[in-house]
Homo-oligomer: A and B are copies of this chain.
Amino acid sequence: MAWRLSRRQGLAMGVWTAAAVPFSASAQPAHADPLPSWNDGPAKRSIMTFVGRVTREGPDFVPSARRIAVFDNDGTLWVEQPIYAQLAFALDRVRALAPQHPEWRAAQPFKAILEGDTSGFLATGEKGALELIMATHAGMTTTQFAATVADWLASARDGRFHRPYTELTYQPMLELLRFLRASGFKTFIVTGGGVEFVRVFSERVYAIPPEQVIGSSIVTRFVMEPDGKPVLEREARINFIDDGPGKPVGINQFIGRRPILAFGNSDGDREMLEWTSAGDAPSLVGLVHHTDAAREWAYDRRSGVGRLDKALNEANRKGWLVVDMKRDWWEIFAFKG
């Protein structure tokens, strides 16, 4: 609140200054706030202080090429409740493909999904989830899969906010991504979700190009079609799980150097934060804590989706930044109401 007032005062002053000094060399007033959706408080101050330290000449300066920032996606950059968007996609695909698969009427997890039997689906556990993924994400080319995801994103709506999933991104995090890039950082997504799912919208929604998205993947195979056109076929086999200890492994495999900033929101991000904070350079690691049931969702230690328990203990013990959504974010979404 305090920040808001001073920001408005600042803007008013900016107008005055611009009028008085019309030939000022500065394109932007020095007081421009790069994080207007963040309330003034310890979270915002931690971020501003850290970015200042590593970008100004001095003992903590980090050259731009080493300013690698990594972000989890589900629950960190966009909404993950009540179910991951990619799971909603998979469930919708089962319904869309059901006419071609009469056998699904009698086989789990498809039977439960088609009957809208959530607890029945959940009872199929990891095996059911894997079968669901393979039935909806494999057996097509990479190009076909990307087109299917794009079509779905264009029409699907979240059940609570009645918006396309790509609008359910957190405005404060979009500002943080932009601020970091303007400060010479290279921003990456490191998601437990499917890399080829997230890449379909990452550039448009986050201004993060596909080559800066790391995620889970299934095996793809190069196939030369009879007409001489090569394709990449998506096979029903897991290639890489980019979650938990897989996140630092994925970061090393794809980026090849250690980030200096990492944000997550769940226990699946814990090792990524440990890895980031264990480097020689100064680092900032943070967790988004979902504390705002009125504006978004409130969940942590007992949530099935995006559980935050061990990582929260470690954050408290080690002094990692914990962003309290309710306290620290002035706005949550870019859209109104």
Contacts and interface: CB of A to CB of B under 8 A. Distances in A.
Contacts of A249: 220-222, 232
B199 A256 contact: yes
Contact of A217 (B68, B209, B253): B253
Interface stretch (A105-113, A116-124, A155-163, A270-278): A270-278
Nearest to A276: B230
A222 B256 contact: no
Total identical chains: 2
Contacts of A186: 211
Contacts of A274: 224, 230
Nearest to A143: B258
A209 B65 contact: yes
Given A203-B65, A230-B274, A248-B230, A253 B211 contact: no
A257 B217 contact: no
A196 B256 CA distance: 7
A35 interface: no
Nearest to A271: B222
Q: How large is the interface on A (under 10, 10 to 19, 20 to 34, 35 or more residues)?
A: 35 or more
Contacts of A291: none
Nearest to A198: B256
Contacts of A209: 65
A199 B68 CA distance: 16
Interface in A223-267: 224, 229-230, 232, 239, 245-246, 248-249, 252-257
Nearest to A214: B254
A211 B254 CA distance: 6
A246 B256 CA distance: 19
Contact of A255 (B65, B211, B222, B230): B211
A14 interface: no
B255 A210 contact: yes
Given A217-B253, A249-B222, A229 B278 contact: yes
Contact of A222 (B142, B211, B248, B254): B248
Contact of A252 (B68, B142, B255): B142
A180 interface: no
Interface in A45-81: 65, 68
B245 A275 contact: no
A288 interface: no
Contact of A275 (B210, B222, B257): B222
Question: Which 3 A-B pairs rank lowest in CB-CB distance, beginning with the nearest?
Answer: A210-B256, A222-B245, A211-B255
29 contacts: A65-B203, A65-B209, A68-B211, A186-B211, A195-B256, A196-B256, A199-B256, A210-B255, A210-B257, A211-B212, A211-B256, A213-B256, A217-B253, A220-B252, A220-B253, A221-B245, A222-B245, A222-B248, A222-B249, A222-B271, A222-B275, A230-B248, A230-B274, A230-B275, A232-B248, A232-B249, A232-B252, A239-B253, A254-B254
